[in-house]
Amino acid sequence: MIIMETDATKEQIAHVIREIKKYGLRADVSKGAYRTVIGLVGDERKIPFDHFAVLPGVKEVIKIEIPYKLISREYGKFFEGMSERMVVRVGDIEIGGDEPVFIVGPCAVENKAQLFKIAEGVKRAGGHILRGGIFKPRSSVHSFQGLGAGGREEAEEALDWLREAGREFGLPTITEIRGEAQVDLVAEYVDILQIGARNMYDQDLLTKAATKGKPVMLKRHFGAGIEEFLSFAEYIAAAGNKDIILCERGILPVGKGKSYTRYMLDLASVPVIQKETYLPVLVDPSHATGRRDLILSMSCAAIAAGASGLMIEAHHNPAEALVDGPQAITPDELKDVIDACRRIHKVNPSKRNKD
Ligand code: PEP
Ligand code: MN
């Protein structure tokens, strides 16, 4: 990280950027009110630290010794407005702002009527963003894979419903991309690109998703440590996109015997990640627990832990949901969840979690 002098000239800054490019590195330039900070992105072995330290206009060169440099608090504290939390804006909605954000919708888009019915319920309950899986990651190849598996035409039709439902009810949209081949198509239709837990490690997918000029939500792999999770989020930032939303969705339970929940919801990760980065963190209690009877309590707990919002699966008729019915709540139940979370948020001492 190169910290420029407060009185560094435009020419000096441009010179530093040219030098960075000369070494085959990318410059991540942040112009603050007082000074410019330039992050060096690329192979660390190629960075001639001493060379940059003596360039005109350079105040100092700081080496950040962690793998997630660009999204770290250490780096973020030099940017305006990121000393506490970066706000990711999607239309009028602020993720990481003063109010918790609720991303809600069916696990999978099943048909147009289902999606519109749920979207209406999400809006009525106070939700902000509509989710709906079209390319579903499934453990069994014999189960419903999402409408996206039906080929390009069916995928586009479902994406079009999602966009239309979002417009009709004033809800920005999010859906998962499972592979690089889906990125261009999906980015034409939705507002946020979701990278699911299973693909957290796909660095090519992360890099490609970052280039679409849209926020990317990255879910934690169920076997990933927090450092690893953040190190992969760094791939998105390194590709030039800092509109990153992190989502805790539970890790694998340990020990013998029945666990009673689908995964183990690691809520301590919320304040820990907020100490490490300036990115907003959401929690998904649906996949974490796999149980609708736990959504209210775990949603409240996530907000109490300081989460910037939640991603929740809802269905107007959970018993008939093609995927993840046991964890889906109804729009009426959603309203109770959102109301309870808002009450907790109001009195929440964790909402300003930082270092
Ligand atoms: C999802 O949100 O649709 C999903 C599949 O979640 P995860 O990637 O966390 O399993
Ligand atoms: Mn699901």
pLDDT in tens, 266-292: 999 999 999 999 999 999 999 999 999
With cut-offs at 50, 70 and 90, classify the pLDDT of residue 355: very low
Asked whether 106 lines ligand 1 (CB < 6 A), one says no
With cut-offs at 50, 70 and 90, classify the pLDDT of residue 354: low
What residue ranges do the domains of the chain occupy?
A: 2-63, 88-354
Distance of CA 69 from the midpoint of ligand 1 (Å): 26
Q: CA-CA distance, 36 to 79, in Å (whole number)? A: 9
Query: What value does the mean pLDDT take over residues 38-51?
Result: 88
The residue to mutate among 107, 136, 201, 219, having the most atoms of ligand 1 within 8 angstroms of its beta carbon, is 219
Residue 28 pLDDT: 92
Atom of ligand 1 at shortest range from CA of 107: 3
Q: Is 2-63 a domain of CATH 3.20.20.150?
A: no
Provide the terminal-to-terminal Cα distance of the chain, rounded to the nearest Å: 20
For the chain, give the mean pLDDT.
95
Distance of CA 108 from the midpoint of ligand 2 (Å): 7
**Model pTM?**
0.96
Residue 89 pLDDT: 97
Residue nearest to atom 9 of ligand 1 (CA): 197
Q: Is the pLDDT of residue 96 over 70?
A: yes
Asked if 2-63 and 88-354 have one fold, the answer is no
Residue 47 pLDDT: 86
Atom of ligand 1 at shortest range from CA of 220: 9
Give CATH for domain 88-354: 3.20.20.70
Cα angle at 161 between 194 and 175, to 5 degrees? 5
Distances (CA, A) of 142 to 128, 145, 146, 164, 220: 33, 8, 12, 30, 26
Residue 32 pLDDT: 79
Residue nearest to atom 10 of ligand 1 (CA): 197
- Are 162 and 193 contacting, i.e. CB atoms less than 8 angstroms apart? no
Asked whether 250 lines ligand 1 (CB < 6 A), one says no
- Are 331 and 124 contacting, i.e. CB atoms less than 8 angstroms apart? yes
- Which amino acid would we find at residue 224? A
pLDDT tens digits along 167-183: 999 999 999 999 999 99
Distance of CA 48 from the midpoint of ligand 2 (Å): 47
- DSSP string spanning 6-30? TT--HHHHHHHHHHHHHTT-EEEEE
Distance of CA 202 from the midpoint of ligand 1 (Å): 15
Which ligand is in closest contact with the Cα of 132?
1
Lowest-confidence segment of 42-51, 77-86, 124-133, 244-253 by average pLDDT = 77-86
Distance of CA 186 from the midpoint of ligand 1 (Å): 16
The residue to mutate among 144, 176, 311, having the most atoms of ligand 1 within 8 angstroms of its beta carbon, is 176
Cβ atoms within 10 A of the Cβ of 313, count? 30
Task: Name the nearest CA neighbour of 293 among 329, 264, 262, 318.
Answer: 329
Residue 301 pLDDT: 98
Q: Is the pLDDT of residue 100 over 60?
A: yes
Query: What value does the mean pLDDT take over residues 192-214?
Result: 98
Q: CA-CA distance, 331 to 189, in Å (whole number)? A: 24
Query: What value does the mean pLDDT take over residues 313-336?
Result: 98
Distance of CA 275 from the midpoint of ligand 1 (Å): 25
Hunting for tokens 């998904």 — which residue is that?
284
Q: Is the pLDDT of residue 43 over 90?
A: no
Residue 353 pLDDT: 59
Query: What value does the mean pLDDT take over residues 17-22?
Result: 95
Q: b vs e for 189-221, b when ≥16 Cβ sit within 10 Å of the residue's Cβ?
A: bbbbbbbbbebbbbbebbbbbbebebbbbbbbb
Residue 349 pLDDT: 76
Distances (CA, A) of 320 to 33, 60, 138, 210, 231: 55, 61, 18, 35, 39
Atom of ligand 1 at shortest range from CA of 176: 3
What phi-psi label fits residue 26: left (phi over 0), alpha (psi between -120 and 50 degrees) or beta?
beta
Asked whether 219 lines ligand 1 (CB < 6 A), one says yes
Give the contacts of 223 (CB within 8 A, at least 6 positions apart): 251, 252
